[in-house]
Amino acid sequence: MNGPLENKMASSNINGKGQPKSSKPRMNRKISSPMNPAFMTSAPGKVIVYGEHAVVHGKAAMAAAISLRSYLLVTTLSKSQRTMSLEFPDIGLSHTWDIDALPWSTFSHPSKKKMYYDLVTTLDPDLIEAMQPHLSDVSPEAKGEHKKIHQAAASAFLYLFLSLGNQSFPGSIYALRSTLPIGAGLGSSASISVCLSSALLLQIRTLAGPHPDQPSEEAELQVERINRWAFVAEMCIHGNPSGVDNTVSSGGKAVLFKREDYTRPPKVIPLRNFPELPLLLVNTKQARSTATEVAKVGALKESLPVITEAILNTIDAVTESAYKLITSGSFSKEDPHTTETLGKLMNVNHGQLVSLGVSHPRLERIRELVDLVGVGWTKLTGAGGGGSTITLLQPDASPKALEELEEKLDAEDFERFETTLGGDGVGVLWPAVLRDEGEEEGGIEIDQQKFLEAEGEAGVESLVGVRGGREKRDGWKFWRV
Ligand SMILES: Nc1ncnc2c1ncn2[C@@H]1O[C@H](COP(=O)(O)OP(=O)(O)OP(=O)(O)O)[C@@H](O)[C@H]1O
Ligand SMILES: C[C@@](O)(CCO)CC(=O)[O-]
């Protein structure tokens, strides 16, 4: 059976299959004091329903959280252990920094120091430079794309840690597992960014809650702070993010998102009555980097500015039409005409993304297979260039045709996902103890060994999952906005 590492990365040029772990996870260290119990954070992936890429250029996008999530377990070490460790087995990354050797003087210099409530919209080149010597010894044996994946995750953590922490920060281990495929357009980087940002903000004790009777304005402020720092981590991972992924991952549910001015917070409209659309989510297993795909569109805009801007504007019009339809008083998802309009808009949006040059033959093959059986409307979702598609299924799609489609997708080695849209955003499990409903007392204490050894995505989901397949789990808490 595949272990977590083998399962995670798609079989492509950034293949993580069978990568040796950099070193064995350190699972035998002495763990937290009762004052600093081990705790967890978790955040969802997302699908972009309309408007990816255009959103990087100031247009609107509509996106919703999905039920696949990342989970981060934080274990505080005893006072004498002055190290910060990352255990990210999904990508085969294991690294430890000596806290006292990190570039504190640069990060805490008055001209550079940021506060936990600040809005940071660009990475500081001096800070990036100061981090370099501490990143160059991360996975020195890794090569090519594999190395980039490690560097991206390590730099996201280090930039946040050095910005939010200080030299007297307690030594800690950050163990991360995700049920999301990586580089598949489903927001894996945003979900780990939200996990890291919320964990560090909790460790420096700047977050209130989450607790059940928290006023919603307070909850909103906490989520906003997490989201701002998650955006910083996203900038470390993919250069020029719009912020839509981390916004959905932090707040959950579904939103219309637009960032016209990068020096100001984006405009985010929650879509409270976002319909539970019957969606089929398919991964090409062709991993790619969001940074590369975003750069492709940037390059097209430079070489064909007028045409590219025109395409981006028509994408905006598609997103706007879908938004108007969903928020109109007469909207009903039972109405086949409405579904058909949303579906046609998805098809148009896909065509626009093809013109921007971010499709891939495997994405086109999924479209072809769906079109051949005629069960719905398909578009790529996320950055494209591989990654995933979403298909809005026709309400009257015949079960036989659907079965036929599933067989074909399986035969051609595509990966189908079942997921629900619009779930919770960032969650906290403090301390790391879970109890299933009906269980008498005690509950399961999640320690690093259990967490790192859980078998595959299903093992992670069943051990620490927000639902874990059960009706209700006691322990995970969310800021309710
Ligand atoms: N489970 C994970 N463990 C460690 N690092 C991860 C994990 N998931 C994502 N990452 C980091 O995020 C990067 C992938 O980000 P990228 O934005 O390219 O893809 P994505 O977020 O899955 O897709 P999209 O942005 O299109 O939704 C990886 O290279 C890695 O650095
Ligand atoms: C391609 C893109 O629009 C969506 C990636 O999920 C990039 C971004 O918004 O940061």
Name the more confident of 463 and 25. Answer: 463
Distance 339 CA to ligand 2 centre (A): 25
Instruction: Say how many domains are in the chain.
Output: 2
**CB of 318 sitting under 6 A from ligand 1:** no
Same domain for 56 and 202, yes or no, is yes
Amino acid, res. 263: T
pLDDT at 30 over 60: no
Cβ-contact 244, 319 below 8 angstroms: no
CATH code of residue 381: 3.30.70.890
Whether 245 is a known active-site residue: answer yes
Mean pLDDT of all residues in 19-46: 66
CA distance 471 to 276: 19
**CB of 290 sitting under 6 A from ligand 1:** yes
Per-residue pLDDT tens digits for 200-258: 999 999 999 899 899 999 999 999 999 999 999 999 998 889 999 999 999 999 999 99
CA distance 286 to 407: 19
Amino acid, res. 471: E
Give residue 463's pLDDT.
Answer: 93
Give residue 4's pLDDT.
Answer: 30
**CB of 424 sitting under 6 A from ligand 2:** no
Domain enclosing residue 47, as ranges: 4-271+423-478
From 100, 124, 245, 316, active-site residue: 245
Same domain for 336 and 230, yes or no, is no
CA distance 453 to 8: 15
Give residue 335's pLDDT.
Answer: 85
| pTM value > 0.90 | yes
Cβ-contact 468, 436 below 8 angstroms: yes
3-state DSSP assignment of residue 5: helix
pLDDT band at 331 (very low <50, low <70, confident <90, very high): confident
pLDDT at 8 over 70: no
Give residue 268's pLDDT.
Answer: 97
Give residue 439's pLDDT.
Answer: 67
Cβ-contact 82, 382 below 8 angstroms: no
Name the β-bridge partners of 417.
Answer: 281
Give residue 442's pLDDT.
Answer: 73
Same domain for 206 and 334, yes or no, is no
pLDDT band at 278 (very low <50, low <70, confident <90, very high): confident
CATH code of residue 252: 3.30.230.10
> At which residue do the structure tokens 């500015």 appear?
305
Same domain for 341 and 428, yes or no, is no
Pocket-testing residue among 66, 182, 245, 281, ligand 2, by greatest number of atoms within 8 A of Cβ: 245
Same domain for 393 and 427, yes or no, is no
Mean pLDDT of all residues in 93-100: 98
pLDDT at 126 over 70: yes
Residue with the smallest CA separation from ligand 2 atom 9 is 242
**CB of 234 sitting under 6 A from ligand 2:** no
Considering 385, 401, 417, which residue would you say is the last residue of a domain? 417
ipTM, two decimals: 0.98
Considering 417, 442, 461, which residue would you say is the last residue of a domain? 417
**CB of 383 sitting under 6 A from ligand 2:** yes
CA distance 464 to 448: 12
Give residue 156's pLDDT.
Answer: 98
